[in-house]
Structure 1
Amino acid sequence: MTKKKLHPSVEEFKEFVKQNPKIIQEVRKGQASWQELYEDWYLLGEEDSRWDDFREGLEKKKTTTSTDNSNWVSNIMGMVKNMDPNQVQTHISSLSQALGAIQGVITQFQGGSSSQSQSNQQPSQQQQPSHPFQFRKD
């Protein structure tokens, strides 16, 4: 029989599991599935703290606020290094346009700023709202 070729990332994961046999015990105990572990490994990478419990010869790390903060900062810095400035600018522009559209819809539902200023100047006269929905505060 010929052996089926696996995807290179699956081969890398298999090597990672061979280096950390406690992962196999985790699956055999039913505490995790191979799919879950592979997805975590693929998304988080081999150096993530998720794998600290499975590493051979390493003492469990004590969780402190300073190490959590430094991990958080290093994660953010890693993400910033991998960002494409042009792509970030495109996303910011899209977000700005979306916020502008949302503000326009809210303004339409509020009846515009001119009707609000008129109602503040003439509280004795009741005006019919020009929009189809009438909102009241309790």
Structure 2
Amino acid sequence: MANLDEFKQFVRTIPGIRNEVLDGHYTWQQLYEIYTIYGEKDKVFERYVNETKEKDQSLDLSKLMFILKNIDLDAVSRSLDGVQKLLNIVVKMNDKETDENSFYKDRRL
């Protein structure tokens, strides 16, 4: 029974093999027997695993291109300007506190 669960998990990682069963090239029984006898490194599965890896890589690149294409550079620029202004305010406040602390220390002496 553990082999069946392992087979199900393995098949979920390579969705292209489902189409082979639906197209009639293999049955689930045939694939399960190949899996139990030869393991997941068999050449029958190797092709689908490679296709899945290539598809994932190209999908990541297409997602990245989609994201880059839809970035509003003006909005990014405005956001960065706002962050820069905020940082300048924090630096000025920190400088003021340092100056005030040094003034009070000098007066106490």
Alignment TM-score, normalising by the size of structure 2: 0.45
Larger Rg: 2
Higher helix share: 2
**Highest relative contact order (Cα 8 Å, sep 6+), 1 or 2?**
2
